[in-house]
């Protein structure tokens, strides 16, 4: 439970003025068509009141979600579960704050918190790099840890270093730290969570294993065996040298269901596609349970989530209807590509700071599965993608401009929908273009 630290009168005044200045900057950003303004608001807020984040978190019940892939969707699912519980108990909705737009660094979280000063509960998507700070500042009750994959290689570098920072933060927090809901299929997550005072493990039946070859504890090779649970898609793992091994999970994904600790079977029946979203729902359900939300109420709330921060949303671009899928790294592409079932597929690639400058990961994605489809490569790094598609034997067109690429994709049949898979920066541009 968070400990309330009451700021001084001077501190409260500074926070109030900083919030007003940030809100004005956000309004100007929206008026100029430069985005929601959440980032600039939070940046200015923290610059004028450096201790604002801790003050805004004080006294709140906090649940956090982090991981390389799926954290925006999982946070939306968890927030929907908590919101449904609050609604069922007659608590006003403004008592819940959630950084729904996915702004998950210090400034984005501060911006979201400042929007609802009356909130007593916060469900926060948290970037991997700021998890340790939020454990210290927010004293969360629940921390959901999803996965670790190579992402933004020029910024995050070796993912083990991030896992180590989580491990240290949880150890320092001790009994005051969060209950960790951890993906048991991810060796680095399991190792990072070991120092928490309590861990609830979820068997997510993860398919992607290419980012976990070496033991994070000792560096030896990891061994994997076939799953022994019905309907499982992943594989049980253990270190070949030390005692680190996949723990027994109290929550399990079995095909399209989630099995709870008491053996009850929950069928999420989400409005979101993909087996990986069932895994996200399992983690959100376990987190909600720890947070005191009745699982039946939690599932009902999660079913209301449709297009979290534009993911899986459908929009009209001129004469073309397109569904937007976000894929930031090889693990994300491995999940997104099977969902692209339209005759024409648009692949949008950039290497801005938010995407990561290094696009060598393109060679780890199995684009070969798109052979025989109509493929359009677009975005500032379309030429790099075109080379990869050529080696994959995938016929394609290279149209760097996003708008022109969408028009080209719909040229044959404007009534036929188009799936668009994009990295972060073009995905955000497409959201804006499509009004999502």
12: region left, alpha or beta (phi > 0 left; psi from -120 to 50 alpha): alpha
- Residue-level pLDDT at 117: 86
Which segments are annotated as binding site for Zn(2+)?
A: 215, 218, 239, 242
- Residue-level pLDDT at 436: 79
Is residue 80 classed exposed, middle or buried when 0-12, 13-18 and 19+ CB atoms within 10 A define those classes? buried
pLDDT tens readout for residues 75-98: 999 999 999 999 999 999 899 999
C-alpha distances in Å from residue 255, one per residue of 205, 304, 339, 355, 423: 9, 21, 17, 32, 28
CA separation for the pair 237, 216 (Å, rounded): 13
CB-CB contact of 396 with 377 (8 Å): yes
Catalytic residue list contains 358: yes
Q: Is the pLDDT of residue 232 over 50?
A: no
Q: Is the pLDDT of residue 345 over 90?
A: yes
What domains are there in the chain, each with its CATH number? 51-308 (3.40.1190.10), 313-434 (3.90.190.20)
**Cα 18 → chain centroid:** 29
Going by pLDDT thresholds of 50, 70 and 90, the confidence category of residue 393 is very high
Which segments are annotated as binding site?
A: 215, 218, 239, 242
Q: Quote the tokens at residue 79.
A: 């927030």
- Residue-level pLDDT at 371: 93
Active-site residue identified among 319, 358, 401, 413:
358
The three-class DSSP label of residue 333 is: helix
CB-CB contact of 326 with 292 (8 Å): no
Long-range contacts at 369-372 (CB < 8 A, ≥ 24 apart): 369/337, 369/338, 370/337, 370/340, 370/345, 370/394, 371/395
pLDDT tens readout for residues 209-220: 887 889 999 999
CA separation for the pair 111, 35 (Å, rounded): 14
Arithmetic mean of pLDDT, 360-387 = 94
Q: Quote the tokens at residue 200.
A: 């609830």
Going by pLDDT thresholds of 50, 70 and 90, the confidence category of residue 236 is confident
CA separation for the pair 336, 326 (Å, rounded): 7
């Amino acid at each position: 439970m968070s400990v309330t630290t009451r700021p001084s009168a001077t501190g409260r005044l500074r926070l109030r003025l900083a919030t007003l200045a940030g809100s004005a900057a956000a309004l100007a950003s929206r008026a100029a068509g430069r985005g929601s303004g959440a980032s600039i608001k939070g940046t200015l807020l923290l610059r004028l009141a450096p201790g604002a984040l801790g003050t805004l978190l004080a006294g709140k019940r906090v649940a956090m979600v982090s991981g390389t892939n799926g954290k925006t969707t999982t946070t939306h699912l968890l927030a929907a579960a908590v919101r449904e519980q609050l609604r069922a108990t007659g608590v006003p909705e403004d008592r819940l704050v959630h950084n729904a737009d996915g702004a998950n660094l210090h400034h984005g979280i501060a911006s979201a918190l400042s929007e609802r000063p009356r909130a007593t509960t916060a469900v926060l998507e948290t970037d991997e790099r700021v998890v340790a700070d939020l454990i210290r500042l927010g004293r969360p009750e629940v921390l959901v840890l999803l996965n670790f994959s190579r992402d933004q290689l020029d910024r995050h570098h070796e993912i083990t270093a991030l896992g180590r920072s989580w491990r240290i933060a949880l150890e320092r927090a001790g009994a005051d730290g969060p209950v960790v809901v951890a993906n048991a299929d991810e060796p680095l997550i399991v190792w990072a969570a070991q120092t928490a005072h309590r861990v609830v493990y979820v068997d997510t039946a993860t398919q992607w294993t290419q980012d976990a070859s070496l033991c994070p504890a000792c560096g030896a090779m990891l061994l994997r065996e076939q799953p022994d649970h019905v309907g499982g898609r992943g594989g049980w793992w253990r270190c070949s040298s030390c005692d680190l091994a996949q723990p027994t999970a109290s929550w399990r994904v079995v095909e399209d269901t989630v099995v709870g600790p008491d053996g009850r079977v929950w069928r999420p029946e989400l409005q979101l596609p993909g087996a990986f979203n069932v895994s996200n729902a399992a983690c959100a359900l376990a987190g909600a349970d720890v947070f005191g939300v009745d699982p039946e109420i939690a599932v009902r709330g999660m079913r209301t989530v449709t297009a979290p921060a534009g993911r899986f949303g459908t929009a009209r671009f001129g004469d073309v209807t397109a569904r937007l899928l976000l894929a930031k790294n090889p693990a994300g592409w491995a999940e997104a590509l099977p969902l692209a079932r339209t005759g024409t597929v648009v692949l949008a690639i950039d290497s801005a700071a938010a995407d990561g400058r290094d696009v060598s990961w393109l060679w780890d994605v199995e684009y070969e599965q798109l052979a025989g489809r109509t493929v359009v490569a677009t975005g500032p790094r379309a030429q790099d993608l075109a080379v990869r598609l050529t080696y994959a034997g995938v016929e394609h067109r290279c149209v760097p401009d996003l708008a022109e690429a969408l028009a080209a994709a719909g040229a044959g049949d404007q009534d036929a929908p188009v799936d668009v898979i994009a990295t972060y920066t073009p995905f955000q541009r497409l959201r804006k273009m499509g009004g999502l």
